[in-house]
């Protein structure tokens, strides 16, 4: 049977990296963004939707006939409180309501290290900071990610939807600074992690870290490995070429000192 996966924010940074990596035989990717996602390449099983995730009618339509949702949409950095609340928090509520009404059984939510950005990095023991670290947001953006996790928990407890929140470290082609050597999630490992989230038979509600098997990692891999994730990349191979980062006591790095509410 064909599997259909809705990806919100599909034209954004993470969505663009995941699109070619989540293609599978027997799978249709339904790509939604407010900027038009690039059209299907020849032979690519995708459907594209240009819509705002804060639009309930559009989200209801987008969730029809879908097996799982990967919710990446929303602001990915600091913004005004009003914007953050409307797009990230209200937007996620709109997505989860559409999921519930359409009877979708699984949602993967893009949370972030910034939900816990004010945890000191020297608290990481040999196994790394656990994935269920209590929230200590470093920005309004981080607050929105904490709220997204709470919304996911609510929709799991009330409606039995499987919800996995991934506290993504730094998902880019390569790490750009020393902090990235600890928090990098390679695009290939990102796809491995999403596949694990999609294929576990019964994940329930979970919060996991999204990082690669970095030599300098600060975050535990155990919770994601428990789901079936087998990371294969290590940021250390970029150590000689990364720029020096601003040293920070905290996981959130530069977000912990950035101006609150100012787009960064
Ligand atoms: C995030 O959550 C952001 O979306 C991304 O732009 C990076 O800043 C990343 O965290 C990070 O901490 O490197």
Full-model pTM: 0.98
- Paired tokens of 214: 């970095």
CATH architecture of 3-256: 3-Layer(aba) Sandwich (3.40)
141 among known catalytic residues: yes
The confidence score (pLDDT) of residue 247 equals: 74
Expressed in angstroms and rounded, the spacing between residue 18 Cα and the centre of ligand 1 is 16
CA distances from 78 to 75, 89, 140, 180, 187 (A): 7, 13, 6, 18, 23
The confidence score (pLDDT) of residue 95 equals: 98
| Residue 1 binned pLDDT confidence (cut-offs 50, 70, 90) | confident
Look at residue 5 and give its three-state secondary structure: strand
| Residue 69 binned pLDDT confidence (cut-offs 50, 70, 90) | very high
Helix (H) / strand (E) containing 155: helix 140-159
State the burial class of residue 130 (Cβ atoms within 10 Å of its Cβ: 0-12, 13-18, 19+): middle
Q: What is the residue extent of each domain of the chain?
A: 3-256
Q: Are 110 and 166 in contact (CB under 8 A)?
A: yes
Ligand 1 in contact with 76 (CB < 6 A)?
yes
The confidence score (pLDDT) of residue 206 equals: 98
What's the mean pLDDT when you consider all of the chain?
97
Mean pLDDT across 85-89: 98
Ligand 1 in contact with 263 (CB < 6 A)?
no
């Amino acid at each position: 049977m064909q599997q259909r996966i809705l990806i919100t924010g599909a034209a954004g940074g993470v969505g663009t990296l995941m699109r070619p990596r989540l293609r599978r035989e027997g799978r249709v990717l339904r790509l939604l963004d407010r900027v038009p996602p690039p059209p299907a390449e020849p032979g690519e099983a995708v459907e594209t939707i240009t819509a705002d995730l804060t639009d309930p009618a559009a989200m209801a339509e987008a969730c029809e006939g879908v097996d799982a949702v990967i919710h990446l949409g929303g602001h990915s950095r600091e913004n005004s409180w009003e914007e953050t609340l409307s797009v990230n928090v209200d937007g996620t509520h709109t997505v989860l309501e559409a999921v519930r009404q359409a009877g979708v059984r699984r949602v993967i939510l893009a949370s972030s290290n910034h939900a816990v950005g004010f945890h000191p990095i020297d608290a990481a023991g040999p196994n790394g900071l656990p994935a269920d670290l209590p929230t200590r947001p470093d920005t309004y953006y981080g607050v929105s990610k904490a709220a997204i996790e709470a919304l996911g928990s609510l929709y799991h407890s009330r409606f039995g939807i499987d919800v996995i929140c991934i506290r993504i470290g730094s998902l880019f082609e390569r790490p750009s600074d020393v902090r990235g050597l600890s928090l990098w999630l390679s695009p290939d490992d990102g796809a491995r992690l999403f596949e694990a989230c999609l294929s576990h038979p019964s994940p329930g509600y979970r919060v996991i870290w999204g990082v690669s098997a970095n030599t300098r990692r600060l975050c535990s891999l155990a919770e994601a490995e428990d789901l079936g994730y087998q990371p294969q990349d290590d940021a250390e191979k970029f150590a000689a070429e990364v720029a020096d980062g601003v040293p920070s006591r905290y996981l959130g790095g530069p977000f912990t000192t950035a101006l609150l509410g100012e787009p960064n």
